Amino acid sequence: MHLYIAYKNYSSWSLRPWIAMKVAGIPFDETLLPFYHDDSLKTFAEVEGLPAKVPVLKDQGRTIWDSLAILEYLADQYPEAKLWPSDPTLKALARCATAEMHSGFMALRGEFPMNCRTNVTVAPSEATQKDLQRLAKIWADFSQQQKPEGDFLCGHFTIVDAMYSAVMWRVTGYNLPVSEEFDRWAKAMLALPAMQEWLTASKAESWSVAQYDKVAGI
């Protein structure tokens, strides 16, 4: 398997399949396409006949070009990794929250770009406050479920945790208020060895993107 991603410091969509593969112990090679700094993504997309977006996964002659499609593909290919919970109620909730992340939280995403290298306190706009309240509600919904022991939304790590992994960086990086349940989950996500590996790589990157660093006070 070969995963094409962008900057570890900034690319929120790249983090989602990357962290899921690492936590699930799925071996893969990776190529980083720094699209603000060179034409590598443009060239890749032209050759592949794809939109110039990452992540993209290549496996056994197949090309999968969207974060959620990649995560679903991994769940199909590695059933033993249990990337979805088996309980139907929990699975339905996890799928809804995953889909909501994939197509929603526009204010939070627009106002607070993922930037693993920052730790500042920034007051959220009214629209982002609504997104943060929505996060608190989702975390409360998960906490009320019958589920296996564990620090993650469905007990053990699943796709829904991967989908919100960049939200963890936004909330902790800009010190945004959500809820105690969210903060406990964020702590567990940050403690994952894979997340620490991602952070170390983010810090080692020499690229910077001024428009994002400005928001982050860097």
188 in contact with ligand GSH (CB under 6 A): no
Residue 93 CA to residue 154 CA, distance in Å, equals: 9
CB nearer to ligand GSH: give 102 or 130: 102
DSSP labels for 95-154? HHHHHHHHH--HHHHHHS---TT-----PPPHHHHHHHHHHHHHHHHHHTS---SSSBTB
13 binds ligand GSH (CB under 6 A): yes
Give me the phi and psi of 3, to 5 degrees please.
-105, 125
Per rule CB under 6 A, is residue 174 in the interface with ligand GSH?
no
| Residue whose Cβ sits closest to ligand GSH | 67
Q: Which residue has the tokens 């997104």?
A: 131
In the complex, the smallest distance separating the C-beta of residue 3 from ligand GSH, rounded to whole angstroms, is 12
Cβ at position 2, least distance to ligand GSH in Å: 16
Burial 39-69 (b: 16+ CB within 10 A, else e): eebeebbeeeebeeebbbbbeeeeebbbbbe
CB of 192 to ligand GSH, least distance (A): 20
Sites for ligand GSH among residues 26-55 (CB under 6 A): 35, 52-55
By CB under 6 A, the residues from 58 to 117 that bind ligand GSH are 66-68
In the region spanning residues 119 to 148, those forming contacts with ligand GSH, defined by CB under 6 A, are none
Pull the structure tokens for residue 81. Answer: 């990794």
Q: Which residues of this chain interact with ligand GSH, rule CB under 6 A?
A: 6, 11-14, 35, 52-55, 66-68
